[in-house]
Structures are given as C-alpha cells and as structure tokens.
Chains A and B, each alone.
Chain A
Amino acid sequence: MKRFKRNSILLLSTLCVCILSISCKRDKHPEKMIGPEYRNADPDFFVVDDAFTMSPSNEVDLTKALVAFDAKFSQEVTYFLKLSSNNGASVNFTGKAADLSKIKWDGGHNGLYFFNAKDSVIAELSFLGSNKILKDTLTIKTPKSYGVLVNDFETVKPAGHKKFPASWYVFGGEAGTGLSGAYNGVVSYPQSITGVNWNTSSVKPPSGNNYYYMSGLDVNNDFYIDGAGGIVSLNLKTTNPDSVYYNVFVYGRGFVNDKGSLKIQENDNGKGGIEDNEDELFYDFKINWTGWKLISVKYSDFSFTASIVGNRIREPHKAGKVGFTLLSDPSGASTQYGFDYPIFTYGKPLPQN
C-alpha cells in the first residue's frame, strides 16, 4: 500500500510537471496577429471618381473568362463585395486593400444556389465603417463548369403531361402506374403538381428552375418503387476510381422510409451502349433530412450489383449510363424525393457551400 501511495504521488507529480512545461510553451504567430487584418474607413474616405466596374460585363462566358473588378480607394480599407443574381445565387468577397485588382470571379457561389445562364448579376461594393455603396451589373451567357454535368434538367421534352430530359426513360415501377401520388419526371419551380403530397411550389432547386422528382407507393413490398435515367456521354478523363466523385443534390422531407439509389453502368466491352453483362454500380442512401442536401460519393465507394456479372472493375472512364431509383425502406410505404445537378468532379467532391 505504501508503494502504491508513493507511486501515485510520483505519477501525479510527473504529470503535473509535464503539463506545466507544455502549458508554458506559447503559440508562435509570425504575423503577430490572428484572423484577417481589417481596416476601418477613415471619416474622409472616398472611392476615386466613385467608379466601380466589372469586366467583362455582358454575356460573360464563365468557362473561358474570369471577371475582374476595377475600383480604387483613397486608403487601404476593408471592403465587402457581394455578387447576387436574380435567381438567388450569391458570392461574397472581402479583404483589406486600396483597390480591387486582386479580385477575380470564376463564377463560383456561396450558399445553395448556382449562377445560371442568362442570370443578371448585381455587384454591390461596401466598406467597413462607411455608408458608401457602389453597384454594377453583368449578365451571364455560360455559367461556371464544376465538372462533367450529367444533366441540369433545364432542357426537357414533353412526354404526355410530364417532362423528361432528352434520352432519358423511366425504368418502370409503381411511380408510373398512375396511382394517386405517383410521379416520375421533371418539375419546374414554382410549378405545383396535383395529386402529389409534395409542396413543389416552394422547392427551388440549386441550379435553374427545374429538377427531377419521383414519388410512389411500394405496392408489392419489394422495396423498389421506380427509377429513371439514360445513356449519357460522360467521357470521364481518368481511370482511377479514387479520383472521381459523383455528386447530386437531393431534396428530402425527413421521412423514415424515403430512400434513393444512384446507379452507374459501364461500357465494359467498349462497343458503346450498355449490355446485360457489363458492370452496374450502385450507391443507396437513406433520405432522412429535410430540404436540399449535397451527396458526394467517391466512385470507388460504389458497390457492384450482384446480379449483373461484368468485369468487376470500377472503370470511371467507361461510365456511360446513369440512373436514379426510388426505394422504400422499410418496404411498403409511399416515398419520394427530388434531385438536381448530378455531376462528376475530379479530385474532390463538389464544394459544400
């Protein structure tokens, strides 16, 4: 017992000395500050000639050009530059400078909504400690490309009373049975769909005004309700499944049975088209959230469909067909979800803004 007590004191004393010595080491900050340096506008602050412009500003192709900003200030000051579109997209820049020469906009965005083609963008420039606000506008011809976009559902063709992307088809299931509450097609915000328990008029998609929506009842209790997809020309430029992410925004209603699945089929034999003995990959996900959420899945995290016997090699460069299915888990329920902007990205997932 004495030894135990002695050892306990020794242990605690050693611990005390170690922690005290670590605690006395101070953090090193070569810049002698933390956080971004900021600067208040002086009372006599002004913007030279009150001039604030963007270039280019008309029919901007953001896949080819960056947008530059021109404004010169009477002093170094912390500025706030906010670009916002008529469709709800926005992006913010801030910093401390005497002009805006270092700011270049590549078409990216903060928040959920993307800048789209034909958007009108207002840039608003303001300053810390000043009431001065300057504005300029531009229009977008082509939005920024984040990767290989599968479909933005903005260009659709009518199919009966529904709309589909070109070359897409429905897989067949309960969503196409015409039962009340069943739907499988593109929805335009703020369109409402009669007979569907989905407040479509308030669901604005991340990109544009269209998104894909599926709903149905798992009548035969087999988990599967319906699906849709099609052959797409992806031509992914890598053979490494660890360097490709498949991203899609999914809208959920927080219902326990709602479940979806992403599918990719590969053109294993190189003949074009997709045949029965070519790999099919899938990724199932429970949709337990409410609102839009970005799902990003590494290509190598997709599983092979057991019943389809391909070469069992994940080959992103051979991906040639995509699909989305609606499931019910547990089975037998009425489920639904919406999705938008499915896109493949290289190296890392689509940014969660």
Chain B
Amino acid sequence: MITYNIMSKKFLLGLVIFIAVCIQNTNAQTVYFNGLGRALVTTDQLKGNVLTIPDANPLYQGSRTDSVIGRRGTGGYTIFDLGVNAQPNENLRASAILRIRNNFGGFYGNESSVFFRQLRIDGVIAKIVKYEIGDIDLGLTPYTLYNFDESYHDYEADVFAIRRSIVNYENFNFGNKWRMQGAHANANFRFTQGIEKIGVRVFAARAGRKDILDLATPDRVNWGGRLDLVQSKFFQIGGNYIQMLDLTGTVANNVYEFDNKVATVDFKLGYEDDQIGAFLYGEAGFSKYSFFRAQDDSTVSKDGNFYDIGVSGEYKPLKVKLFASYRNVSDNFNSPGAQTRRIYDYGAPALFTTVKEGAAIRQPGLLDRISEENIRNLNIMPVLMTYRPEYNNITPYGTATPNRKGVSFGASVGEMEKVVKGDVKVDLLSEVIGEGSTDTRKFTGVRGGLFFNVNKLINWERNLGLNFGFRYEHTKRDGGNQIDLKSTLIDAGFNVEVVKSFDIIAGYKMLNAKGNEYVLVRNAYNDLVNPVQGYSDITAANTISSQLFNQGLFAAGIRYRFTKNTYFTGQAVFYNNKSKLQSTSLGDFDYKINQIFLNYTMVF
C-alpha cells in the first residue's frame, strides 16, 4: 500500500508537469489537441438451457437450475483519450494519448485509472527521411506483415459496424497494420526520367507486449523493410524482408532462441488509361524458420515458400473490375507477421464468462466477436493459433495460410459514393499436402455482398441504405477420414435517416455450420501434433465443444450524428446460440443473450 501511494504521487506529479507543459506550449502555439471520448453501457440478460444442469437427484426431477451464475448484468465505462501533439517545427512532432477511464459503477476515484495509451515521436530528417519512434502501426504485404480481419464482415450492417469499430479502436486494429513499439523510417527518391520513384522503408519493433519485470524471456523483435521501385503506373516492383528473432543476451539464460526470416518480391505490370486497366501482379518468397528451446536442447529448422500470381482487368466507365489469381503456399511457410490471428477464438469473454455453475467457459460467438474487447490478440505469435473452423476454414491464417493452393477469382462493381457497390469472390483451393492423411482437403468458398444506396436512386436528400453480405464455405475430404463441413454466414441490414442526422439502424447476422472437421494441435515448434480433436456433428467423445452451430444476431436501434465522428446510439440486441454440444454431466449449452447497448462517442 505504501508503494501504491508513492506510485500514485509520482504519477500525479508527472501528470501535473505534463499538463503544465501542454498549457505552456499551447500558448506558444506549438501544441494542438485531439482525442476521443466515449461512454458505453450495456445491460445484459442470459437465458436458455445453459442455465439448467442435469441432476440425478430425484429431488430436482432430473435437472436443477444454475444457482451460481448471474443472469443479468450491467457494465460499461467512460473513457477520455486526450491526444497531445507538440510540434515545435515542421520536422518534429511528439504526441501522447493520455487515457482517463472510469468503469461503470466507479465513483470518487474507485475503479478509475489514468495511463498513457500511446506515445510517439515522428518527424522528417533533412526533408527526406520520415521517421516514427514509439507506438507505431506497421504493415507490409499480405505474406510478410499484415493484420488480417478476424472474419468476413465487408458488408455488415452499420448497427454492428459501430460496435466493431469500438473493439478495433480499443485494440489498435487500424486497418491491416499491427500496433508495435519500435521505430520506423521511410524515404522516397523521385526521378525525372526512367524511374518515377524509389522508396525505402526500414523498421524494428517489439513483437508484442512484454512485462518489464520478466527477466527470463528474451526480447523478441521484428525488423525488416521494403525497397520498392515505381517505374511508372505501368510497372512497379518491390522487395520485402522481415525477421522475427529473440535477442540473445537480453536474459541471463537463453531458454528460447526464435528466428524466422521471410523475404518476398512483389510486382505489378500492365496498362491503364481513362477507360480500361489491365494488370499482371504477384508476390513470391520464402521463409526460414529456426527455434531452439533449452528444455529440449534441440533446434528445429524448416524452410517454406510461396507464390501468388494474378491478373486483373477494369472497365472504368462502368466501375467494373475482374480478377483471377493462383497461389501455392507450402505447408512450412512460416510468416508470423502475416499469419497471426487478431482474435482468440477460444478466449474467455468478459460477458457471462462462465456457465454451468462455473464448470465451463462460455465460448465466444458472433455477439462477442463484434463487441468483446478482451479476446483480441495484440502480439505477433510464433505459433499458428488455434481456430474454429466454422468462422473461416479456408484461410484461417489470412492470405498467407500455409498448405494452400488453388485459384481465386471474382468481380466488383460500383463504389460507395454511387448507387451500388458490390463484389463477389470465389476460392477454389486445396491443401498442398494432407494433414494426418494422404488425402487432401478441398475448399470451396464464395463470398460477397452489396451496398445499395437507395437514396441516390430516388434522389432523396437523406441517407437510406441497404446492405447484404454472404460467405459460404465447403470443406471436403475423401478417404479414410472423411470431412464434410459447410458453413454459411449471412449479413443484412439497413439504415434510414428519418430526421436530419437521426438514423434508424438495424441488422441481422447469421452463422450456420454443419458437418465434421478435425483440428490438430500444434506444438511449440509449430508442428502438428496429437491430440487430434475431432470436430463433428455427432455426439462423440473427443469432439471439441462446438457442433452444428446455429447463431443468430439481431440488433436494431437509433443513431444521432452530431458530426461526422460524434454520435449517440442506442440499440436492442438479441443473440441466439444453438449447438448440438451436450455433456452428460452439464447438459446442453444453448443460450440467448438479450442486451441494451448505449454508446456516446465523440471524436475531436
């Protein structure tokens, strides 16, 4: 407690100095502020068979009601992110985001916290080299460093997109970049003849969070860069390199020595004018993996490679694009920066974390995936993370998913500013080599959707939009261990601006999965190992806890837009999760969650 007080005083002192410097510099007109404020409250109700437990005791007539788990709850928080940007001249800027948070139910400082959410220095050296140091967002290509989306949601309704944007903001999921702590520099050299531009980028950053008190685990960093040459809009080529490694000597004993290198080349070659565009594009590369673990006293090394080549065509007057590509990613291609998942499929949600009197963790579903802030992963992982096949079985590790080959093709039409924007993409992929069987899986995937701006069609001055999205996947394998898994994800929604800046928004999301699949566990060396976990719609031992999914999520509410980025929304949410999962001792796990969601967000 004494230490706590000292820490608090030190922090408060620092805070006072920080604010004083800010105010002083504001007067000197070298400081400007931006930020975000948010108040968020949900009130929730849990219902369904998940609250009933079989009981052999005849006194309870074969079952009893869960007497431990709460059925209702209300929670939320208020946050204020104050971004302070000190810019003494055009070549230097230091910025910090100070977060003040008060959890719902906290009064007079209880449950309140103050901390720095982000610290960054950036600037320009000699008007050529731009640099960033501190908390930075990094990305390269889909095969080297890329934070891919957790599931397909390109056409989900506004009512869900609002909630997803909150989770993304809280977890620094800005586009497809990874939030890291390190340094980044880039420079562009422009030419007047022959070559339009040569760009150079280099970066070095920690692979993820590390406890500063952890003196046993070595520092793990990512470093790399990109050299790209733009000859003209008709030809460009780039080379990418990224290495993730443990820094020997940062701990007394090297219990781990991880080292993974990925090098790729990407290019784009073609023709483009005001009417049409046609391009050949692609990326190819290799990986070299090495991991030493002291407890085994052994080093495992493996090499992987890939190539991905495609063609695209565009007819600009009609805003129509077509594309087709072929890729082959070997089973040993290892690229942590591009293959790490941003979500823990088996994470424990904060909302109704446990069920069945605490004997089981409630598995996150559609509702949690758009609203749960605590099941996102912020670290680049050296091992491919486990996943649930019903959400994405074709490319669970993004475009760089290992052990995949085949054709993808599709088309897109329109754009968001027009009446219609839509696209469709088809994947016809298979495994390069069988997993646990000489037979290989075949994957068929279709996904797409459209936004329909009805107001632009009928020339209505207010917003009236419809959206529809779908994703269908079929995984099939013949032979001794047959696999046949089908999953369908559907999105639908609308938003109507009934009064100026006042919208009625609603959306529906459905996920259905049926069939069987096998999920193999990976060890520390990223090798597939037993135990095999079956994934089946039959009631059987050793099948993992998700079978014959049927999830439905409906939400409807209102939104008032004060400005483009400042709004209030109130929503009623109804979530239904059914499965064939059943346990002799715990019964079935079907449940419903009804929720009221209130959110005020202000961005300035």
Contacts and interface: CB of A to CB of B under 8 A. Distances in A.
Q: Do A and B come from one complex?
A: yes
Interface of A: 1-2, 5, 8-9, 12-13, 15-16, 19-20, 22-27, 29, 32-40, 78, 80, 92, 94-95, 126-133, 254, 256, 285-286, 288-289, 293, 296-297, 301, 348-349, 351-352
Contacts of A94: 530-532
A127 B294 contact: no
A16 B265 contact: yes
Contacts of B536: 129
B16 interface: no
B152 to A, nearest CB: 27
B518 interface: yes
B92 interface: no
Contacts of B531: 80, 92, 94
B263 A130 contact: no
Interface in B516-539: 518, 520, 527-532, 534, 536, 538-539
A345 B305 CA distance: 40
Interface centre among A5, A15, A34, A126 (most CB of B within 10 A): A34
Nearest to A284: B252
Nearest to A132: B541
B227 A12 contact: yes
A38 B437 contact: yes
B530 A12 contact: no
The 4 A-B residue pairs with the shortest CB-CB distance, nearest first, are A35-B528, A352-B295, A23-B284, A94-B530
Given A9-B229, A35-B529, A19 B264 contact: yes
B29 interface: no
A337 B332 CA distance: 43
Nearest to A13: B237
A131 B539 contact: yes
B347 interface: no
Nearest to A352: B295
Nearest to B293: A352
Given A27-B303, A131-B541, 8 more contacts: A5-B194, A9-B195, A23-B285, A27-B332, A126-B542, A254-B213, A296-B295, A297-B253
Contact of A37 (B195, B436, B541): B436
Contacts of A37: 436-437
Interface in B267-294: 267, 284-286, 294
Nearest to A19: B265
A40 B534 CA distance: 9
B562 to A, nearest CB: 45
B284 A34 contact: no
A133 to B, nearest CB: 6
Contact of B263 (A19, A38, A301): A19
A25 B288 CA distance: 14
A286 B195 CA distance: 57
A144 B543 CA distance: 33
B367 to A, nearest CB: 31
B395 interface: no
B480 to A, nearest CB: 6
Contacts of B90: none
B540 A129 contact: yes
Contacts of B457: none
B215 interface: yes
B433 A33 contact: yes
A80 B436 contact: no
Interface in B433-453: 433-438
A175 to B, nearest CB: 21
Nearest to B543: A129
Contacts of A23: 284-286, 305-307
Contacts of A2: 194
